[in-house]
Copies of this chain bind each other. A is one copy, B any other.
Amino acid sequence: MNNKVTIADIAKELNLTGATVSRALNNRKGTSEETRKMVQEAAERMNYRRDRIAWSLRSGRTNIIGVIIPSAEINFFGSVVHGIESMANQHGYNVLIYQSNEQPEYEKKGIETFLSTRVDGILASIAKETMEFSHYLEIRERGVPLVFFDRANDSLNIPSVVVDDYKGAYYATEHLIRQGYKRIAHIAGQQHLKIFKDRLEGYKAALAAYGIPVEDELVYFGNVSIDAGRQAIQHLLQLPSPPDAVFAVEDFTALGAVKELKDQKVEIPAEFGVIGFANESFDEHITPSLSSIDQQTVQMGKEAFRLLMELIADGESTGVQTRSKIVLEPVPRYRQSSQRSGKIS
């Protein structure tokens, strides 16, 4: 039943010793061409597979990386994981998944098991509820390479891969301006999260660049949800001088805005422009199709893995961790919801 073939078995079969078989299997120098071939054939024939556990114990490596995400159910993270796993695969690494459910306690548990599994490195996206980062610092203290993706914290000096939220927001807002909208509102996200703060800043910067004053009453603070979008529109349309366009911090919020505008019989994009952020899969299928900013999810996963590989290589040779940060370019996807003029800009 459990036909586990070991190096010892091969050695016995060929009247050799384990050491030689090991050398032959790993193509180490110091084995005759002849024995090497013989051993490898025997291994094949006997259906031998190297035991990675034993190998790990001996070598101190696992060829496993740990990935902490808030939830595999969120599209965005599934997509990043896709990028990570495909790269890992190519490089002989395996990927261990852990979901934080946005809770720091789970993050800690995940890190705990990752360290105890001796993963070669960790990729993580910080949980929304996490305000204190000692568990992440412990990873570094242990000498295990760590890279943040998407949700990073710059003050920790830990390498990261993020999308340029500021620039994305700038693009989105600028696009609305160029489409001729005059009063552009923003539905902002929770400001303790850097990504959402950056988007607010980008929005303000774009307005400023075009000489448009930023009006506090046009910035609605909500969160990422359809409801928040609806509420925002209800609020904004009641203003004495209501806006004629909105940049929403995230696509679900934008979706709520669209739904509410439709309910209130406001024409999109003729009377009111809408643009979101994230390029969710539903964007192109709703009516009108929703303009958005793509976050390069798969690319993000790939870059994160690549950066981690570098750290692992560096750590092995010098023990010095190169600090670095990769910022990906956001890609605008302008669709119907914001195209008032015929031209695309």
Give me the interface of A with B, judged by CB distance under 8 Å.
1-3, 49-54, 56-57, 62, 64, 71-75, 77-79, 81-82, 85-86, 89, 94-99, 101, 106, 109, 112-113, 115-118, 141-143, 255, 281-282, 285-287, 298, 319
B72 and A118 contacting across the interface, CB-CB below 8 Å:
no
Residue in B73, B99, B116 whose beta carbon sits within 8 Å of that of A52 in the complex:
B116
B117 and A53 contacting across the interface, CB-CB below 8 Å:
yes
Contact of A3 with B142 at beta-carbon distance under 8 Å, contacts A75-B78, A112-B49, A286-B286 already known: yes
| A72, A101, A115, A255: residue with the most chain B Cβ atoms closer than 10 Å | A72
State the Cβ distance, A294 to closest chain B Cβ, in Å. 14
A97 and B118 contacting across the interface, CB-CB below 8 Å:
no
Residues of B within 8 Å of A78, CB to CB, are: 72-75, 77-78, 81
Residue on B with the closest CB to A144? Answer: B2
* Complex alpha-carbon distance, A319 and B113, angstroms: 29
B79 and A116 contacting across the interface, CB-CB below 8 Å:
no
Residue on B with the closest CB to A77? Answer: B78
Residues of B within 8 Å of A51, CB to CB, are: 116, 118
What are 13 A-B pairs at a CB distance below 8 A?
Answer: A3-B142, A50-B116, A53-B62, A54-B57, A64-B96, A72-B85, A73-B79, A82-B99, A85-B99, A86-B101, A89-B99, A94-B98, A255-B285
Residues of B within 8 Å of A255, CB to CB, are: 285
Residue on B with the closest CB to A115? Answer: B49
Known pairs A50-B116, A94-B96, A282-B282 / 8 extra A-B pairs, C-beta < 8 Å = A1-B143, A64-B117, A72-B82, A73-B79, A74-B78, A75-B75, A82-B99, A94-B117
A53 and B49 contacting across the interface, CB-CB below 8 Å:
no
Residues of B within 8 Å of A85, CB to CB, are: 72, 97-99
* Complex alpha-carbon distance, A74 and B82, angstroms: 9
Residues of B within 8 Å of A319, CB to CB, are: 1
Interface of A is mostly: mixed
Residue on B with the closest CB to A106? Answer: B89
Residue on B with the closest CB to A62? Answer: B53
Residues of B within 8 Å of A285, CB to CB, are: 255, 282, 285-286
Residue on B with the closest CB to A47? Answer: B138
* Complex alpha-carbon distance, A1 and B143, angstroms: 6
Residues of B within 8 Å of A77, CB to CB, are: 78
* Complex alpha-carbon distance, A69 and B74, angstroms: 16
Residues of B within 8 Å of A281, CB to CB, are: 75, 281-282
Residues of B within 8 Å of A81, CB to CB, are: 72, 78, 97
* Complex alpha-carbon distance, A95 and B117, angstroms: 12
In the A-B complex, the 3 residue pairs with the closest CB atoms: A78-B78, A282-B282, A73-B82
